[in-house]
Amino acid sequence: MRSSKTIHVISAHAEGEVGDVIVGGVLPPPGNTIWEQSRWIARDGTLRNFVLNEPRGGVFRHVNLLVPPKHPDAQAAWIIMEPEDTPPMSGSNSICVATVLLDGGLIPMQEPETHMTLEAPGGLVRVRAECRNGKAERIHVQNVPSFAADLDCKLEVEGLGTLTVDTAYGGDSFVVVDAEALGFSLTETEAHDIAKLGVRITNAANAQLGFTHPENPDWRHISFCLFAGPLREGADGLEAGAAVAIQPGKVDRSPTGTALSARMALLHARGVMRVGDRLTARSVIGSTFSGVIVGETTVGGTPAIVPEISGRGWITGVHQHMLDPSDPWPEGYRLSDTWGAK
């Protein structure tokens, strides 16, 4: 086999959502901070296209690039590459990265718990991993500060009329809609409709509402639409269904850690949740993330919470992505049957 490029990947998923991790074959991109490095990756596009486009990738795949940390407290850093974005933070991807670092032996595992500090493009995250018999069984991630942005906004969506929505940040930016009011019970069979409608709602929210991060002027859009299920009391606190529509038109298989953080921030802003309260989110495939508010803070003067999310991750394989010099599609391709029309 000949190849002009070989990228070494450990594949993983967190509660169903794919989050592969590049562990070799790619040099760190230029930049003085992890955020600057992630912006370079986003602008350049070469690595994103190689690992996310077909035939190596697809709309279902997220890929994370391990890089040396910039912050002295961090043991490792990573850059998140999603189908249409290179975001500040991701809950499922942070769980995949932590799982790969520990189960893959890149960071020594301590049983019964391993504590790590990792550096995401959006800031430091503290990780506590429950470990047993050489396996990181559950990953707890203290996420970046999360906050409610606009509450009870009116949003016009063609074919739906006027919706009442919220916007929030949980390490990524969301428009949040009432799933029940839109007729969704958040089951597997609804995934196609949720994905397509969610993209329409996200696009409408970007056009009519927009988003401004008070401390990061580079982040000026809404990434996702969260279909939030009704709250109910469970054995360990509040519970709710959750489905997140991701550009260009798929549903997150996990409950989405940044969405869970964003919803807890909204509930905190409304006085429904306080420090110490817990919310468990269930995805369309039945997997769960658990979230707890561990503190209060501010982001650029905006009231915010410090959320901790937790879930499980598993390694699914080891891959070497290669490029034959004669391959006519060196950066892959996207077709509208799955990637959506532009």
Which positions are annotated as active-site residues? 90
Token duo for residue 294: 């561990």
Q: Helices (DSSP H) in the chain: which residue ranges? A: 34-44, 46-52, 91-103, 191-208, 257-269, 336-339
Q: Which of 180, 148, 190, 181 is nearest to 162 (CA)?
A: 181
- Residue keyed to tokens 């942005």: 149
**258: which strand partners?**
none
**Number of helices and strands (H, E) in the chain?**
6, 20
Q: Please tell me the distance from the alpha carbon of residue 91 to that of residue 310, in angstroms, as a whole number.
A: 8
Q: CB within 8 A of 291, min separation 6: which ones?
A: 257, 260, 261, 264, 278, 279, 280, 281, 307, 308, 309, 310
DSSP one-letter string for 185-236: ---GGGHHHHHHHHHHHHHHHHHHT----SS-TT--S--EEEEEPPPEEETT
- Residue 14 burial (CB count, 10 A): 29
Which three-class secondary structure state does DSSP give residue 273?
Answer: coil
DSSP label at residue 54? B
Q: What distance in Å separates the CA atoms of residue 166 and residue 156, rounded to the nearest whole number?
A: 13
Long-range contacts of 293-297 (CB under 8 A, 24+ apart): 293/264, 293/268, 294/142, 296/268, 297/145
The CA dihedral of 94, 17, 291, 222, to the nearest 10 degrees, is: 80
